[in-house]
């Protein structure tokens, strides 16, 4: 998948900084992990990890952080942060995707939509009335852009992304397949034992440089907009409820759920499967571990965790029974509401 370009270590150091140890004329034509690198590949050592793989690697050269300066005798680039350096170098080896601007003949574009001639609209897309598609936008096959929505300059929507009406997406967004932006929030009121739908009249407003993972869903607001600020990164299968506000440069890992009207600060991180309940506020710089459920607002920028530790099933069965009774005084031992018998799964 790598292009034919070849770089000398000295070329890279000139471009991205760092100090070359060993032959600065060493040429690399690709980038690979330590384990799978072959002749002519550049690799990298993440801080303090994978030293064993480093010894066995067949890479031509490696990127190392300062503290690993002497961890290998291979030609190497020594830098502040080997992982960030790798990120930059990898961009050089990314296959170039040349996208011709224009509208594929099978796309259905409303005559009342506003599509920049420098945008590329793929096969089978549907762009509705008053939608605005800026210069350099790429819509993969089968994307749907609702009435009055706008997609900012240079944004790339992979196939089958769906944006409802009245939403705006900033510049340089990357949105992966199956993402749904602007579906109705889950709002309803009970009326005589039946649910009455509350019209969801707000939209979704997404800043610049946001990435949204595959099959992630972001609901429109009930009255105000749901807001995702600039630089936010959302992994796959995340659910963002209506009226949520996510501060700039926060990153949410896969399967996270944010319930309606929650406010996440700037620069927060949420581990995979974490849940934030509705109407809560998280301060800037809060870090939530995977699978943790946030049930109260958080004001201090620290790390928070809360998941049940796994163990052998036989031990868990015993411990879970003890936990159920933790707060019980003897006279509380009334029959349970649930069926007798061991917990199933």
Q: Is 54 helix (H, G, I), strand (E, B) or coil?
A: helix
Interface with a second copy in residues 41-80 (CB under 8 A): none
Name the pairing type of β-strands 168-169 and 204-206: parallel
Residue 38 CA to residue 207 CA, distance in Å, equals: 40
Instruction: Tell me if 81 sits within 8 A of 65, measured CB to CB.
Output: yes
Backbone angles phi, psi at 270, to 5 degrees: -125, 125
Instruction: Tell me if 169 sits within 8 A of 186, measured CB to CB.
Output: no
Query: By CB neighbour count within 10 A (0-12 exposed, 13-18 middle, 19+ buried), where does 326 fall?
Result: exposed
Q: Contact with a second copy (CB under 8 A): which of 7, 45, 235, 264? A: 235
Q: In the complex with a second copy, which residue's Cβ is closer, 169 or 255?
A: 255
Query: Is 159 among the residues that bind a second copy (CB under 8 A)?
Result: yes
Query: Is 101 among the residues that bind a second copy (CB under 8 A)?
Result: no
Q: In the complex with a second copy, which residue's Cβ is closer, 25 or 196?
A: 196
Query: Is 90 among the residues that bind a second copy (CB under 8 A)?
Result: yes
Q: How many CA atoms lie within 13 A of 100 on its CB side?
A: 4
List 133's β-bridge partners, or say none.
115, 151
Of 106, 96, 92, 165, which is closest to residue 139 (Cα–Cα)? 106
Interface with a second copy in residues 15-34 (CB under 8 A): 31-33
Query: Is 5 among the residues that bind a second copy (CB under 8 A)?
Result: no
Instruction: Tell me if 273 sits within 8 A of 289, measured CB to CB.
Output: no
Q: In the complex with a second copy, which residue's Cβ is closer, 296 or 331?
A: 296
Q: In the complex with a second copy, which residue's Cβ is closer, 137 or 276?
A: 276
Q: Say which of 135, 242, 245, 279 is annotated catalytic.
A: 242
Interface map 314-343 toward a second copy (x if CB under 8 A): xxxxxxxxxxx-xxx-------xxxx-x-x
List 287's β-bridge partners, or say none.
269, 303
Instruction: Tell me if 60 sits within 8 A of 75, measured CB to CB.
Output: yes
To a second copy, the closest distance from the beta carbon of 66 in angstroms equals 16
Q: Contact with a second copy (CB under 8 A): which of 5, 91, 102, 112? A: 91
Residue 14 CA to residue 88 CA, distance in Å, equals: 13
To a second copy, the closest distance from the beta carbon of 272 in angstroms equals 5
Interface map 300-319 toward a second copy (x if CB under 8 A): x-xxxxxxxxxxxxxxxxxx
Q: In the complex with a second copy, which residue's Cβ is closer, 39 or 337?
A: 337
To a second copy, the closest distance from the beta carbon of 52 in angstroms equals 14
Query: Is 293 among the residues that bind a second copy (CB under 8 A)?
Result: yes
Catalytic-residue membership of 242: yes
Query: Is 170 among the residues that bind a second copy (CB under 8 A)?
Result: no
Among all residues, which ones are annotated catalytic? Answer: 242
């Amino acid at each position: 998948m790598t292009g034919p370009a070849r770089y000398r270590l000295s070329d890279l150091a000139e471009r991205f900084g760092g100090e070359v140890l060993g032959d600065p004329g060493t040429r690399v034509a690709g980038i690979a992990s330590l384990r799978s690198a072959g002749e002519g590949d550049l690799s990298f050592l993440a801080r303090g990890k994978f030293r064993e793989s480093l010894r066995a690697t067949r890479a031509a050269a490696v990127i190392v952080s300062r503290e690993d300066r002497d961890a290998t005798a291979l030609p190497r680039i020594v830098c502040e942060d080997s992982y960030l350096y790798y990120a930059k170098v990898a961009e050089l080896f990314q296959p170039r995707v040349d996208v011709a601007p224009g509208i594929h003949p099978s796309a259905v574009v409303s005559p009342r939509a506003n599509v920049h001639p420098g945008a590329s609209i793929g096969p089978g897309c549907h762009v509705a009335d008053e939608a605005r598609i800026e210069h350099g936008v790429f819509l993969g096959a089968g994307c749907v852009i609702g009435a009055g929505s706008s997609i900012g300059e240079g944004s790339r929507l992979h196939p089958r992304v769906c944006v409802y009406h009245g939403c705006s997406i900033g510049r340089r967004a990357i949105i992966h397949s199956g993402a749904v932006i602007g579906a109705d929030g889950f709002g309803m009121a009970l009326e005589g034992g039946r649910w009455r739908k509350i019209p969801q009249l707000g939209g979704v407003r997404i800043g610049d440089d946001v990435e949204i993972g595959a099959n992630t869903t972001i609901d429109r607001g009930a009255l105000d907009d749901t807001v995702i600020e600039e630089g936010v990164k959302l992994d796959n299968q995340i659910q963002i409820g209506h009226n949520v506000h996510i501060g700039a440069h926060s990153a949410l890992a896969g399967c996270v759920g944010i319930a309606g009207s929650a406010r996440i600060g700037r620069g927060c991180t949420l581990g995979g499967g974490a849940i934030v309940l509705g109407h809560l506020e998280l301060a800037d710089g809060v870090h939530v571990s995977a699978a943790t459920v946030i049930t109260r607002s958080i004001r201090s920028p620290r790390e928070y965790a809360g998941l049940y530790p796994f163990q052998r099933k036989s031990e868990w069965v015993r411990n879970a029974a003890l936990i159920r009774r933790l707060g019980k005084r003897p006279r509380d031992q009334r029959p349970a509401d649930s069926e007798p018998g061991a917990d199933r799964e």
